[in-house]
Structure formats: C-alpha cells, structure tokens
Amino acid sequence: MQQRSLGRTGHDVSIIGLGTWQLGADWGDVSDADALAVLDAAAASGVTVFDTADVYGDGRSESTIGRWLVANPNTAMTVLTKMGRRLPSQTHDGYSPENFRAWTDRSRTNLGVDTLDLVQLHCPPASVIDDDAVFEALDALVADGAIGAYGVSVETVDEALAAIARPGVQSVQIILNAFRLKPLDAVLPAAIEANTAIIARVPLASGLLSGRYTETTAFAADDHRTYNRDGSAFDVGETFSGVDYETGVAAAREFVQLAAEAAPDATPAQVALAWVAAQPGVTTVIPGARNPEQARANAAAGGITLPPGFTEAVSDLYDRRFRAAVHPRW
C-alpha cells in the first residue's frame, strides 16, 4: 500500500490506517480474540498505522495493541494515541504537565513501549491550543523521550488551523468524509504548507457511507450511534458526522449510486475511503473495523483510483444535502 510521510516525524504510514475506538468499546461488544484478529488482518493487508486513545475502553484498546506488538515484534507499525479525555470535565487547567506525565506513563504501560510514537491532544478546549505552556510541556515530553512527537485531534476547522500554526505540532486529526467537506477549504492547504500530517477520522460517517443502514436500523444500547445522536456524551459530530440520521441515510443512497458508477467493482465504503485518501494534504485515513473482513476490505481501498469528476459529484451531494447545516458548525 502507498505510504506517506507523517508530518516531520520520520515515520511513513499507509494511506489507509486502522482506527481502534471500536476495539475498546462504544461500538458494541468486540471480543479480545476478534480484536486481535482485526489487528492481524489490517497489518497483513498493508496497514502500517494504528490510531487509539487512552479512553477507548478505559485503556482496553491500547492494551490490546500492546499485546499485538509483543506478538509481532518485527512489524513496523506506527501507533498513534491520544490523551486528555480522562478528565472528569474538559477544563483548560486539566491539560497540565502533571497530567500529561501521568497519562503518557499509563499509555506507555498499556502499549508496552518506552516511547510513544505520537500522542495527540484529544479534542481539547480551544483555549488549550492557544496556550504556549501546553506546548512547552509537550516539548518537554519529547525531550526526555516519553513521546516521539505530538499532534492535536480537533473538532473544528478553526482549531485545526490554530494547531497547524504551532511549530511543534506534527499532526492534526479531523473529521473528513463525503458528508463533511469543510476541511478541504483551508485546513488541507495549510497542512501542506506547514508539512503537517492530516489524519482523517470518521471517514464513513459512522458507517452511513457504507450504504448498509436504513431508517429503521437499530444499534446496540452501548453503541454511540444509539446514545450520542444528540451529542449528550460528546460532540455530536463524532456520531454520523453530525448529520441528521434520516437525512444521512437518504444521502447515502445517492452516494451508493455515485460509487457504483465510479468504481463498479468496489463497495461504497471502499469508494468513500479512497476518495478521502485522494484529497491533497491527507496523510492517512483511519476507518475502524469490527472483524477481519472489514479490515481487509478497508485496506483494499488504498488501491482504488477514482475517475475525474467524482469529487464534483460528491460536492454536489454535500451542497444539496448538508452544507447549510454542517458547514457553519464545524
């Protein structure tokens, strides 16, 4: 699979990675055996980057990856994790050197490594990104070898641009998919100019772009697609990319038709992933997978080339269905 530079870190990563939120919780139950099988399948399919966080399953996702790394010592896998969401409430003061040290030490233990490849602030308050002291504390962690590099995972375009402007920030993670186009306007060009990696998350709009869901599809009670549709647990943009579910299902039907015309031998999900990966400035796309078959299918999207005009069709769909509601919000 094609590899791209992860900012200025010296790491090269596959254009399709693996998001591992679902291996911790919040997407329904995934057994340990199934979780390890997903990691195996992704790596065997050419994936060279896993994205996790210290709060996914309260560390279960990190620990699962840690066990996988022990069992696969010769695999060149870059692991991205996150910190900040262990706070009982999202306050600026919680992003302190003491907490950074405690959180990174816990992640190093979970992952079984001395140095974390890259740690991302996990959708912090906007004021945190504007605080020089926060980044001085992160620089200190790099200097003493606890982390190799750092980035910021964000909710909004404004937060992304503020993070990119920070000279030590190596990556920005942001939602980007066919139902969320705003990062194309300014974030990706700024990232190219700064040589900052862009990690695209929620690339399938929580599965909507697979085309498999209907208005009556039911999700498990412990799946965020059930309990966070109103944004009561965390930013609603993380669930179905923040779009109204019924509108999303209808738009997904249109996307399925566009995908079939663009790449008849690919699934709609593969086309959605390939489109995100093809956007100039995107470094890697991190779909999740709950089973090995999904992991292999996602990775195969890295080999799909879409025809000229597909982006215009996606833009037309977005303009008609979502721009008015989504573009001003994030």
Residue holding tokens 């909710």? 155
Contact 189, 183 (CB under 8 A): no
Contact 294, 22 (CB under 8 A): no
Number of domains in the chain: 1
* Main-chain dihedrals φ then ψ at residue 175, nearest 5 degrees: -75, 130
pTM of the model: 0.94
DSSP tag of 155: S
Based on the number of CB atoms within 10 Å of its own CB, is 305 exposed (0-12), middle (13-18) or buried (19 or more)? exposed
Which amino acid does the sequence have at 112? G
Neighbours of 37 (CB within 10 A): 17
| Mean pLDDT score of the chain | 94
Looking up residue 294, the CATH number of its domain turns out to be 3.20.20.100
pLDDT in tens, 137-167: 999 999 999 999 999 999 999 999 999 999 9
pLDDT in tens, 239-292: 888 888 898 899 999 999 999 999 999 999 999 999 999 999 999 999 999 899
- Nearest-angstrom CA–CA distance, 26 and 52: 13
Task: Tell me the DSSP string of 290-304.
Answer: SSHHHHHHHHHGGG-
Cβ neighbours of residue 327 closer than 8 Å, sequence gap 6 or more: 181, 182
Contact 43, 76 (CB under 8 A): no
**Residue 234 — very low, low, confident or very high, per pLDDT cuts 50/70/90?**
confident
Q: Residue 127: is its pLDDT beyond 60?
A: yes
Give residue 114's region: left, alpha or beta (phi > 0; psi -120 to 50).
alpha
- Nearest-angstrom CA–CA distance, 274 and 247: 23
How far out from the chain centre does Cα 265 lie?
Answer: 26
Distance separating the N- and C-terminal Cα atoms of the chain: 31
The answer to which of 57-61, 181-185, 268-272 has the lowest mean pLDDT is: 57-61
DSSP tag of 193: H
Look up the domain containing 128 and give its range.
3-326
Q: Which two tokens stand for residue 61?
A: 């996702």
